[in-house]
Amino acid sequence: MVVAMAIAGVAGTVIKRTIPRARPSVKSELRWGGRRFSTKYHAFPSGHVAASTAFFGVLIFARRRVGLVCLPIPILIGLSRMYLGAHYLSDVVCAAVLGIICAAAVWRFFCPQWPVTDS
């Protein structure tokens, strides 16, 4: 779970440096672009949502019932990031997709044969 979270964090940072998108709280005519090293322009994708989705995504793959009970956590994190004005909806949705991809990749790499089904 921690490996998936780390991969999502690194991938999110690379995307943030490549696509500097202004946060909703930044008053500017230019929505895409800006200074790459200012945190005001690191909105896309949401690192909080990507990391939490990757973490709990692996849990969903491993233990479906427990993972589904914990599913509201990344959803609430995404809603709180939008409520605070730190991210747009597209930032949160793309981060959730990134987290799911990272969780699936880690699950596929570390547990390729699990669960075993007798057919």
| pLDDT digit string, tens, across residues 2-33 | 888 888 888 888 888 787 777 777 665 555 55
At 109, is the pLDDT very low, low, confident or very high (cuts 50, 70, 90)? confident
Length of the chain in terms of residues written: 119
Sign of the dihedral through C-alpha 31, 37, 40, 44: positive
User: Cβ distance 59 to 70 under 8 Å?
Assistant: yes
- Domains delineated in the chain: 2-110 (1.20.144.10)
Q: Is the peptide bond before 115 cis (omega within 30 degrees of 0)?
A: yes
